[in-house]
Amino acid sequence: MIVTGASSGIGRALAFAAAKAGYRVMLVARRQERLEEVAAAIGSGGGECAYLVADVTDVNAPSRIVDATRKAFGRIDVVVNNAGVGAPGTLLEQSDDAIEYQWQLHVVAPLRISRAALRDLRATHGQLLFVGSGLARVPAPGFGAYCAAKAAVRAVAIQLRRELSKDGIAVTYVDPGAVDTEFSQASGMQRAEEGGGVAVAPDRVARTILRGIERRARRINATPWQTAAVVIGEWFPGVADAAMQRIVDAPAAAAPPAVPPRRSTPALRRAAEKPEDTPGPLNEFDAALAPVARRMERVKLPPEFLRETLVPFNEIELGELAMRWAGMPNKNERAVLREALDALAGAGYLAASGSETWRVLRAAD
C-alpha cells in the first residue's frame, strides 16, 4: 500500500492501521523527520514499511514513488492519494499561485501517481483511493480553491471508477468528515467541515478507511452523521448558505494561505534574469537582506523569490529550495542562498529547525 501524506493526520493513522493489518506500506511525505518517526514506530510494532521523502507535486515524484515501492515490495496493491492541505482565503482574492497549487496538489498529483501505478494495479487487480472532503459538496466561504479542488477530486474518483472497472481495479472516494488534524486546527477548516460539531480522531477514520479497502467499497463515508448533514445541505442550499455564514467566521484570518515556495516558473526566471526590475522600498524584509543584497544580485537570486517562500508554518529545506530556484545550483549559488536564509532568520522571519532546514515564522511585510 502506498500512502501519500503519511507523516501526519489521516495518512499517518492509516499507515499504522494498514501495517498492523499486514500490509507492507510505502510512506510518502515531505518531512523526513516525521517519516522516520512513523517508520520506526511501525517497525517496532512488527510491521513492515519503507519511506520516501517527496513532494507529490514534483513532476518526477510519481515515478520515484512507484519505483521505490516496486523495489521495496515487488508489487502494488493499493494507492491512497491522501496528501493535501487547504488554503484559506476567498476564491477571487486568492492568488493564481494559491489556486494553481490546490489544483496541482489535490487533482493533478493524484492523477499522475495513479497513472504511474496503473500497470502494477492492473497486474494485482488493485485499488485506488482518493481522499476528498464534505466541502466538495457544500463549499464553505473562505476556502474557495480548496473546495473547488476537492469537488474535482470527487468527480475524478467517480470517472476513474467507471473507466477502470474493466481492468479489475477498484476506485474509492473517501469523505473523511471533519478530522482532528494539525491543519484543521490551525486553519479553521475543522470548524467549517464539521458544521460546528466535534471533529473525530484520525485513528477512527483510518480504521473505517481500512474496512472500506477490504470491501473494495466505491465510497467510504468515514463519519456518516457528518456526511448526512452535508447531503441535507446539498438538498437545501438556502439552509446551507445560512448555516455556513454562521459557522465560518472570517476563516481567511485563521491561518495564512498554504502555498509552498514556488518552483522555477517563467515569471520567476524573468525576475532572476532582471532583479533590478523588482525594486521595492527598504522595508523590514529588504533591510534584512541588505547585507547580502550584492551577493544575491551577482548570482541572480531575486528577493521576490525569497519573499514568496515566507509562508508561515512551512518548512524550508536548503537543497530543495536551491533546486527550485536554480535548477542545478553550484556551490556559490547554494552558499548565497544559505546566507540569505540566515539573514532572514536573524530578522525573525525564520527559525532554524535543523542544520539546513528552517521553519517560517511570519510572512514578508
Q: What pLDDT, on a 0 to 100 scale, did the predictor assign at position 232? A: 64
**Tell me, what's the pLDDT at 311?**
86
351 and 246 in a common domain: no
Domain shared by 248 and 275, yes or no: no
* 146 among known catalytic residues: yes
98 falls within a domain? yes
Of 205, 227, 253, the position where a domain reaches its end is 253
Structural domain count, the chain: 2
Identify the active-site residue in 23, 51, 146, 349: 146
Give which of 5, 175, 184, 189 is closest to 79, Cα–Cα.
5
In a shared domain, residues 158 and 235: yes
CA distance 173 to 262: 29
pLDDT of residue 51: 96
The reply to whether 54 falls in a domain is yes
Domain annotation covers residue 259: no
pLDDT by 10-residue block (mean), the chain, 365 residues: 94 96 96 93 96 93 96 98 86 85 94 97 98 82 87 96 97 84 50 54 92 95 65 63 58 44 39 41 79 90 90 84 80 90 88 85 82
pLDDT single digits (tens) 242-256? 666 655 544 444 444
**The pTM of the whole model exceeds 0.85:** no
Predicted confidence (pLDDT) per residue in 126-151, tens digit: 999 999 988 877 777 778 889 999 99
- Is residue 365 in a domain? no
**Domain final position from 253, 278, 304:** 253
Asked if the structure places residue 192 within a domain, the reply is yes
Q: Specify whether 240 is located in the same domain as 216.
A: yes
Is residue 69 located within the same domain as residue 95?
A: yes
Residues 292, 234: one domain?
A: no
Same domain flag for 30 and 164:
yes
Q: Is residue 247 located within the same domain as residue 356?
A: no
Please indicate, yes or no, whether residues 240 and 143 belong to a single structural domain of this protein.
yes
**Residue 270 domain-assigned (yes or no):** yes
Read off the CATH number of the domain in which 227 is found: 3.40.50.720
Co-location of 205 and 229 in the same domain: yes
The verdict on residue 13 lying in a domain is yes
pLDDT value at position 324? 81
Residue 204 structural domain: 2-253
Q: Where does a domain end: 211, 231, 253? A: 253
Q: Within this chain, do residues 249 and 271 fall inside the same structural domain, yes or no? A: no
My answer on whether 219 and 185 are in the same domain is yes
Residue 85 counted as domain residue: yes
